[in-house]
Amino acid sequence: MDLRDQWNRLLPHAQPLGDDLLARYAEQHRHYHDQRHLTEMLETIDELAAVAKDVEAVRLAAWFHDAIYDPQADPGENEEVSAQLAELELSAYGVEAAKVAEIGRLIRLTAKHDCEPGDANGAVLCDADLRVLSMSAERYDEYAVGIRAEYAHVADRDFARGRTKFLQGLSETSLYATDHGREHWEHAARENLKRELKQWGPKAARPIAGLIPMIYLGAALGVIIAASVLLGRGLGAAARWPAGPGDINGFPVWAPIAGTAVAAGLACAWFRRAQPRLVTIPALVFAVVGVISIGICWWQWPSAKPGAAMSERWPYLILASFALLVAGALLGLARRLRLAPPYALTPPWALSLGVTVVCASLLAWIVVSAGEPFVQARLETANTVSTTTDEAPGTLPVQLDGGVAWSREVPATGAIAGTAGGVAELRSDGVVMSDATTGQTRWRYTRADVDDAASNGSDGLLVSSDGRTIAAHLPYDNGNAPRGIELPTYAVLDAVSGRVLTEVHTDGTALAVDANQLLVAEGTEVVAHGVSSPTHWRARLKCTVTQGVLLADQAVVVDACGGNGAVVRGLDLVDGDQRWEVNLGIQFELSAELDPSTWIGELVAVPDTREVSGLVWTGAAGGTLYQWSVDVGSGRILWTDPVPGTPRPRLGRASCDAQLAATHNSIVLVTCRTSTEEGEDQTYDVSALNPSDGTPQWHHLLQVPPKLQHPEFPRDGFGLLPDGRVVTLMPQADGSCSPLMVGTTGVQPRPLVPGPTAASVADTKNVTCNQPAVTVATGRPIFTDGTRLFALN
């Protein structure tokens, strides 16, 4: 009786389902799990029919157990989907629910053939599924060939490993669950399994197997050479860094020469088949010396000291020690493998030498190359002091009545910036964040290998538009830097907690930062370094990139060339592709004789809008400053506004770097006018425009004394309050130094008085206007005169 007749007798009313199952078992990728396997299972079930409690359910489970078969599926997946198919189809054809559930359970049992004692139905199905193991040797071999064909996508080595594991697992347990199976089929099945296991077992030793010890020998020799190079780098490095004159001894050439000579001697001893001790003893010596050297390096490892950076000497020395230990282990293993029978036959001499040289060169290069990232990581860790906080910054009402909230002396500060976490101070070795309400230090990030970060001034500290992310420029002396080591030049920090978000090494200048990207200008290229995301792209523009800001989905940058070329571009933050551009050279008569970095001014994004505003100095009328505004959604200029009488930056004593800042309702400009007489007060323009159309909101002239007339004063000496007013620090006629509020109501002095939390009257009297800098943190003006930091109520 054929399979179709058997199905029709089993479920006469489900002939289409039977045809579908037979078609499934005839699929081309089946070489064992086919109709023949199904026939053998049904014949076995007939033989064991008396054992089953519900032989009809067992037969139906056999029909469905391999209905879906994909050799590349995960373990148990085929059985699960086959069981689901059976449950779905049989229910549709009216098979009672209890029997359908039993059939599904039986099919799932065939995944591992783990029948519980007393499970008669399961025992019959599992024995039928494994019946092929006990058949004749010819049929078993056909089964084994069919299984290999079904797993043709698996490499021979991987298949051999997996098949051996499967067969060994079968051999360790009872193969059959029924008494009949154990009595009549167990012995024959175990003989078949034993025969196949021999097929997958280790082959006789071949000459090519002798290359395995050569690979380990080459690796050992390469690591020895690498250890000598690392030792030379460690001995040649300065004891401290940044290194002073005479601290660097130079790379000792004798170290790699000695390492190469030792490696060559060991290779000669190996190929001459000299006494085993000529290889074994050096292996022991290398291992012992490596362990002792690691202990010495660990014991002498310098502790972190403020202001004293650890050099690369100790990381390189401990790397050389570890390499020596590994070389000893590899050499001993190579010698042990050479004595093992499977690897004893010697391959051709030329092949052995070639394998040894290739492996030695490769390992030497890998170990030396991997040493630099390790040393870099060790230097960054050892030379960095980073503290964080989980406490929220203080918040108190701001009165702006001239009362001093707090005051304290600080080291020389390069810049201050208001953030969501307080006031950030850029110091010579890093960043310190103080609470704007109390003046207490909240967190700090400092590096001992930084080369005077404060010298960058306000350019060394970038703050995101929401005030929650800052980027600090941390330069180091490239002349004395470790060779091959790229220490971070920018640290991106969470302003509230002080957590380090990322550290970036670049030779460019950071333009803007937010929680996702750090935007850097590298000549004519713009690079976005991922902060909290892996986003990283590089866009090449036509001219030198001078300014940039980050919006929600765009980076707006300005690239300018000498002559009349300056273009504002909107770049996609995902991939850096350009969305739009505005050619400023068409809109304005740009200066042809000045460097673009001087006549392209600041760029600022208006909060909660799609508007970016900027400054440009033109050649018209001897030099005119223009404000302009661009809609970044459409890529068009909204308005332009001239500010006559403003000297171009860095051109003569009276010039200055204009500051552009924005609130939700105003764009505020602070710049200077031309002064003809040396020693006279300089006139500053402080004005506000409407962001949407550029119409004036208010405008005031401010007289600035000669001692404050330096190019950075408009950027560093004025702060923008949330309500649109501008605050600065200015000398008064009586010699005191007082804040000024500039806004819609005019210029209003705020003489300093002791506030309720100020220490004493001295806190107001000691304030000078020598080097004033102003910022606003959490709505509170923060001032510094270079030696003292204080805040208003």
- State the amino acid at position 396 in one-letter form: L
Q: Both tokens of residue 83?
A: 């069981």
Residue type, position 98, single letter:
A
| Tokens representing residue 475 in the block | 């330069």
Is the per-residue pLDDT at 381 higher than 80? no
> Each residue of 279-313: pLDDT tens digit?
788 889 898 998 998 888 888 776 655 555 667 77
Question: Residue 529 burial (CB < 10 Å; 0-12/13-18/19+)?
Answer: buried
Are residues 430 and 437 in contact, defined by beta-carbon separation less than 8 angstroms?
A: no
Beta bridge partners of 683: 703
Highest mean predicted confidence (pLDDT) among 181-185, 388-392, 473-477, 655-659 = 181-185
Query: Where does the pLDDT of residue 80 fall: very low under 50, low under 70, confident under 90, or very high at 90 and above?
Result: very high
DSSP 697-757: EEEEEEEE-GGG-STTHHHHSEEE-TTS-EEEEEE-TTS-EEEEEEETTEEEE---EE-TT
**Could you report the per-residue pLDDT of 100-129, keeping only the tens digit for each?**
999 999 999 988 888 888 899 999 999 999
Burial (0-12, 13-18, 19+ Cβ within 10 Å), 310: buried
Bond from prior residue into 242 cis (ω within 30 degrees of 0): yes
Sequence-separated contacts (24+) of 473-476 with Cβ below 8 Å: 473/510, 474/430, 474/447, 474/450, 475/450, 475/451, 476/242, 476/449, 476/450, 476/451
The angle subtended at Cα 274 by Cα 273 and Cα 277, nearest 5°, is 120
Residues near 418 by Cβ (< 8 Å), separated by ≥ 6?
424, 436, 463, 467, 719, 775, 776, 777, 778, 782
Weakest mean pLDDT among 265-269, 474-478, 600-604: 474-478
- DSSP secondary structure of 297-316: HHHHPPPPBTTBEE-SHHHH
Quickly state the pLDDT bin for 676 (edges 50, 70, 90): low
In this structure, of 74-78, 441-445, 707-711, the range with the lowest mean pLDDT score is: 707-711
The architecture CATH gives domain 3-200: Orthogonal Bundle (1.10)
At 669, is the secondary structure helix, strand, or coil? strand
Radius of gyration of the chain (CA): 40
pLDDT at 499: 92
CA 524 and chain centroid, separation: 25
- pLDDT tens figures, 177-235: 998 988 999 899 888 888 887 777 555 445 566 688 888 889 999 999 999 998 888 88
Bridge partner list, 426: 415, 431
The whole-angstrom separation of Cα 454 and Cα 427 is 5
Torsion of CA 176, 178, 182, 184, to 10 degrees: -110
Q: How sure is the predictor about 734, in pLDDT bands with cuts at 50, 70 and 90?
A: confident
Q: Which two tokens stand for residue 566?
A: 């300056």
Q: Please give the share of the chain, as a percent, with pLDDT higher than 90.
A: 13
- The winner for highest mean pLDDT among 212-221, 399-408, 621-630 is 212-221
Rounded Cα–Cα distance for residues 725 and 779 (Å):
11
The side-by-side arrangement of strands in the sheet containing 525-530 is 509-513, 517-522, 525-530, 537-540
The total number of residues shown for the chain amounts to: 793
Query: For 687-713, how does the pLDDT look when each residue is reduced to its tens digit (9 = 90+)?
Result: 899 988 889 999 888 888 887 787 788
**Model pLDDT, residue 204:** 40
The CA-atom distances, in angstroms, between 638 and each of 253, 628, 633, 634 are 66, 8, 11, 10
Q: Are 783 and 767 in contact (CB under 8 A)?
A: yes
What confidence score (pLDDT) does residue 518 get? 92
pLDDT at 595: 64
pLDDT(246) > 70: no
Give the relative orientation of helices 15-25 and 55-64 as an angle to the nearest 10 degrees: 50
Contact predicate 372/232, CB 8 Å:
no
Residue 243 CA, chain-centre distance (Å), reads 31
Distance between CA atoms of residues 415 and 771, nearest Å: 11
- The residue among 596 and 182 whose pLDDT is bigger is 182
pLDDT at 570: 92
Q: What percent of the chain has pLDDT over 70?
A: 86
Count of CB atoms situated within 10 Å of the CB of 286: 26
The token duo for 196 is: 């196949």
**pLDDT tens sequence across 120-155:** 999 999 999 999 889 998 998 888 888 888 888 888
pLDDT value at residue 1 = 53
Asked if the model's pLDDT at residue 245 lies above 60, the reply is no
CA distances to 42, 50, 256 from 47, rounded to whole Å, are: 9, 8, 77
Query: What confidence score (pLDDT) does residue 329 get?
Result: 92
In whole angstroms, what is the distance from residue 683 CA to residue 694 CA?
23
C-alpha span between 411 and 422 (Å, rounded)? 18
Does pLDDT of 359 surpass 60?
Answer: yes
For residues 254-269, average pLDDT: 87
Report the distance separating Cα 782 and Cα 596, nearest Å.
Answer: 33
DSSP for 15-81, please give it. Answer: HHHHHHHHHHHT-TT-SSSSHHHHHHHHHHHHHTTTT-S-HHHHHHHHHHTTSS--TTSPTTHHHHH
Place of tokens 């088949």: 273
